[in-house]
Amino acid sequence: MTTNPTVFTLGDALVTFNPSETGPLRYVQSFAKKAGGAELNFAIGCARLGLQSKWMSRLGNDEFGKGIYKFARGEGIDVSEVEFVDGYPTSLNFKEIREDGSGKTFYYRHQSPVLTIEPEHITDELLNGVSIVHLTGVFLAIAPKNLQIVLAVLKKAKEKNIKISFDPNIRLKLWTIEDARKAYEQIFPYVDILLAGMEEVELIQHDVSKPALEAFAKQHGIGQLVIKDGANGAKLYSENMWHEKEAFKITPIDTVGAGDGFDAGYIYAALHNYSPIESLTFANAVGALVTTVKGDNEGLPELQEVLDFMNNKKAIER
């Protein structure tokens, strides 16, 4: 593996409006404008850890889209496959945050600009130099036709012997669990690393006992089945063995984006040949750090921050 691998991801980005106070959104009077979206968060997380990060998307040819583009480029992300389109407004979401750090998201992404991506845009050159492809269920949920685009990416990746990671990232506000299951059944056979939340696994196949999860991984040929379980930690099934790691003890401020951060951390670890327990520990650390800062991606850490956090080192401020 090269010293600085390239990660590719594909998906929507949104302008995220973060509330100025906690509580039900109907009582919140002001918001801070940020950029978000699962795949963009992942791309940022990888870039901050030092990976080469390539993101494919479409943005509205409007002020919000230009703001997201500038932000992503400023994070060092390769935006050569990001284009502006007329007639499709950049997607928005509004976050509601409760006192315990939990929250809800309200999406306004009708006529998302990514609807203009077509299977023919998935060219042979698109994945040149890419070490791993990471996709999520959010892009799939936006429109039924996106399944064909994702399958085109997966087939290109397999032709080039590029590893594939997938996070179901189920959004039931965007599609039904039945539609999600049908799409995932076509995707799982391509997946090398599956990064799924415990609740998502329950939605997908109900039985989350270890024997059932083992059978699921073997049925689809998934080499690394990673289960994210928030404050309970994470576990990995790989090569007929289970590995488990507890979560770091922190006080969460905003849990949005923690799963995307975990994904970036795990992929970084996998690309650098960390052991199973080292990979889970590193990913847990990134996910934990994300929750200590308000915002979808503001808390995504740089590599040294993760290492210091894992080693319980305090930063010297002055």
Residues carrying an active site annotation:
260
Nearest to 284 by CA among 305, 262, 264, 299: 262
What is the token pair recorded at 91? 């997607």
What is the token pair recorded at 20? 């100025």
Q: Which residues are CB-neighbours of 16 under 8 A, at least 6 positions away?
A: 33, 34, 35, 36, 37, 92, 93, 94, 95, 295, 296
| Torsion, Cα of 239, 275, 248, 18 (10° steps) | -90
Nearest to 194 by CA among 217, 178, 175: 217
What is the token pair recorded at 21? 């106070």
Q: Which residue, chain included where needed, has tokens 């945050």?
A: 97
What is the token pair recorded at 164? 């594939």
What is the token pair recorded at 154? 């997966």
How many whole angstroms separate alpha carbon 35 and alpha carbon 33?
7
Strands 234-238 and 193-197: unpaired
How many whole angstroms separate alpha carbon 13 and alpha carbon 60?
10
